[in-house]
Amino acid sequence: MSVEDNQAAKRLVPNNVLIAKRKAKGWSRLRAARELERAGLHRGLSVPDADAIEKAVYRHETGRAICRDQLYIELYCLVYDATPHELFGDIEPTVPAADTFGLRSHKFVCAFIGADQIEPLIRRGTVEQAEPQCGLDCYVSAKVPADGECRLYVWPFGVAILHLCEEMRFPNIASLAIWRRRSYIQNLDWASGYLSGLTGELVEASYVLSLYWLHSPMWSGADLDTAARIISTPRVLLERDSEESESSLGHAELVERALFAEGFDHAEIVSFGIKGISIGYASWSGVVYCPLAARRALAEEELVSTELATQAMWAYCEHINGQVERGKDPTVPDPYGWRFLRGVKSRLTNARPQETGQHRSMRTAILDTSGLIGHLTQAIDVLRETSER
């Protein structure tokens, strides 16, 4: 080997991730090539023969060629069950062209039912002790009949939340915005009726908050970031108080195209994603999260748990502060007075020793955009003042 060849070989940077993935399966390069070929044919893709693929695998693994071919990227991701970022370190996700995008919509339909209603639900076996949500003890039911997967969560201080999870696909964000507004009205009516029947008392669900887990985007690069920002505040696409119609959808689609062309940002949208790992935004309207590197991004359950705790406390503080606004001294169960709220505020705002930076950023973004800390502070002050009279 010449001096030049030796120097060139030393400059090669092997892709140790590809090599480790292959060896973990006990495959030779030829076996890996055949698996790539099989995966491609199963997908209906036009793939080279195994010999050509084996040569490509050799070049990609040894660093003699950087893998830029979208076909090979897709094949590697299929057989190694990994993302492009995990295998190649690409900052921008590779997203196949699609006509729709897929997400899981998590709706938190909140109501205050009163602390006296919780114990009967526990005695009847309607709800059972659940895992604490961000340190808050709560109870959860089995599945509630609904369009989508739904469970009832209740907290001993009197808050009930119906957590409705729906798998959805949309051709554009405008369609999501229209569906969201229409379904919110239906969800509130349904939740009020369900909780009234469950408790035997008139219950009115007060609001809905959405969390979107964007698992199948139809955008990439800067467009994906813009899409996530819009999804966190989909109301921006809609005219105020407009009726649902083809023209309102058409208008929303025009606004969506304009925002993609011009870029979209809003002072109240807070980012909590990490470049190359995830895209995450929180706003007053809701939260959206798109994992780019699934094994290093936040888990879906982490966001759901944080929202359950946040919305439970928001609904409780809304009840307390609502009594004040009606000219009453608020009354709450003794265990859940101002000292309890002070402890919750500390638990929600202070970092935990084992908490990751990603989780802390997510929790802070959700708390900041929800306005919960101000709500908590006011409720603490009011209850403390009332108790000292």
Report pLDDT for 389: 64
Q: Which residue has the higher pLDDT, 131 or 367?
A: 367
Residue with tokens 């938190």: 108
Average pLDDT in the chain: 89
pLDDT tens profile 318-364: 999 999 888 888 989 999 999 999 999 999 998 878 889 999 999 99
Which H/E stretch holds residue 104? strand 101-112
Query: What b/e sequence results for 217-250 when a residue is b if at least 16 CB atoms lie within 10 Å of its CB, and e otherwise?
Result: bbbeeeebbbbbbbbbbbebbbeeeeeeeeebbe
Q: Which residue has the higher pLDDT, 61 or 242?
A: 61
pLDDT tens profile 135-177: 889 999 988 988 889 999 999 999 999 999 999 999 999 999 9
Q: Are 172 and 259 contacting, i.e. CB atoms less than 8 angstroms apart?
A: no
Report pLDDT for 143: 87
Backbone phi, then psi, for 166, in 5-degree steps?
-130, 130
Total-model pTM: 0.77
DSSP-assigned letters across all residues of 6-56? HHHHHH----HHHHHHHHHTT--HHHHHHHHHHHHHHTT-----HHHHHHH
pLDDT tens profile 115-127: 999 999 999 999 9
Q: What's the mean pLDDT in 183-193?
A: 96
pLDDT surpassing 90 at residue 307: yes
Q: Are 170 and 101 contacting, i.e. CB atoms less than 8 angstroms apart?
A: yes
Q: What's the mean pLDDT in 190-197?
A: 96
pLDDT surpassing 60 at residue 385: yes
Q: Which residue has the higher pLDDT, 130 or 388?
A: 130
Residue percentage of the chain with pLDDT more than 90: 66
Task: Tell me the C-alpha distance between 198 and 246, whole Å.
Answer: 38
